[in-house]
Each structure stands twice: as structure tokens, then as C-alpha cells.
Amino acid sequence: MRKNLKIFRATKLLSQEKMAAAIGVTRSTYAAIENGDREGRKTFWRLLQCAFDIPDAEMYGLMKNEEE
């Protein structure tokens, strides 16, 4: 699971569905990435970073899969 990604979403007060819509992916795709079942393509992470203006230094923490 990507706990930091889940926490980030929660701080924005967004459901998985609304978070997915904000970055242009399906809810199931977003959920699989947040749950650590999928890695997420570079495009996904770029869209997330741009949509929420996330500094480069913070992106690693969001991308990290804690169950690896």
C-alpha cells in the first residue's frame, strides 16, 4: 500500500473517485496504484504532480510502495 498517497488524498478531502477524476484516470486504476497492486506509469505520476502542484522532493514519498 502507498500509505503516503492515501494520506495525501485524505488531506485533500477527496474520495478515490474524485482523485482519479482530478488526474484523468479511472477509479479502479487509481485504487490499484494507491493499494500497491500496480506501479503506475510515469504519466500517472506526472499528472498527479501537475494537478496538485507537488514539489519533486515530495513525489518520492507518494510513489513509494511501503509493502515492497
CA distance 18 to 64: 22
> Residue 2: its pLDDT value, please?
94
Looking at residue 63, what is its pLDDT? 92
**What are the sequence ranges of the domains in the chain?**
3-63
Q: How many DSSP H helices and E strands does the chain contain?
A: 5, 0
CATH superfamily of 3-63: lambda repressor-like DNA-binding domains (1.10.260.40)
Q: DSSP label at 25? A: -
Half-sphere exposure of residue 59, counting CA atoms within 13 Å on the CB side?
Answer: 15
The pTM for the full model equals 0.89
pLDDT recorded at residue 68: 55
Give the mean pLDDT per block of 10 residues along the chain (68 residues).
95 97 96 94 95 93 83
pLDDT score, position 66: 84
Q: Alpha-carbon distance 25 to 66, whole Å? A: 22
What distance in Å separates the CA atoms of residue 68 and residue 60, rounded to the nearest whole number? 14
